[in-house]
Structure 1
Amino acid sequence: MSEHYVLNIQSSLTLAQAERMIDGALAAARAAELLPLTVAVLDSGGQLVAFKREDGCGVLRFDIAFGKAWGALGMGISSRTIRDRLGNRPAFQAALAAASDGRFVPVPGGVLALGAGRTVVGAIGISGDASDRDEYAAIMGVQAAGLASHPEAPAENWQSAGL
Structure 2
Amino acid sequence: MLRAAAVVLVLVIVCGYLALFLSWNAAPQPIATWQWGDSKYVQPMPIGLLFIGGVLLGAVAMALALWGPWNGLKAGELQQRELIQRAKAKLKSQDTKIKELTRLLEEQPKSPAPEGAEVELPEAAKAAAAAVDEAVAPAKPGPAGKPDAPTSEDDPEVI
- Scaled to the shorter chain, the TM-score interval is under 0.3
TM-score by length of 2: 0.20
More strand by percentage: 1
More helix by percentage: 2
State which structure, 1 or 2, has the greater radius of gyration over its C-alpha atoms: 2
